[in-house]
Structure 1
């Protein structure tokens, strides 16, 4: 039961993140002017410097960080190890070329 709840939380995060990705970092007024109402998965628009790298239904660094954390916790048998978490985040950032794209939040940087 606990594993199903954790998995459900991760699915919920990924789906919500992918749904909101096209409007990443935009104020509500701009989102409304550009999209009206977002009720389906959309690609990141070219005008959005944070979302332009993402295709329809892709999640952002927010979910990627959660998955890095989950992978690190699994690797450490439930223990929190900042070095292992950092290694997972750095690997993701390198693979995604995140340092050259505007997809990392200030804490992740």
Structure 2
């Protein structure tokens, strides 16, 4: 069985699993739906996908909305502007800055 990718598919999958008596991740593993290795891989992949979507929300999407097509993504041929941020007492603090691929702070 493939892991669902859309919210609608996830909800349908969860309803199907609940109807079959599978209500937790551990139930799914014990029922043989997923091996522990596959489950870790699927969770990691879903986390990366969610992170990519979250980053696009604050990088590529605003850049495109402003007509700044030379930035917003770390890909060959774009500006490569980047901030490194560290959380200090639940406050994001900029600790390094790269502008056009060169570290400036």
Q: Could you say whether these structures have the same fold, taking a TM-score greater than 0.5 normalized by the shorter chain as the test?
A: no
Higher percent of residues as helix: 1
Normalised TM-score (structure 1): 0.29
Q: TM-score under structure 2 normalisation?
A: 0.30
Q: Which has the larger radius of gyration?
A: 2
Higher strand share: 2
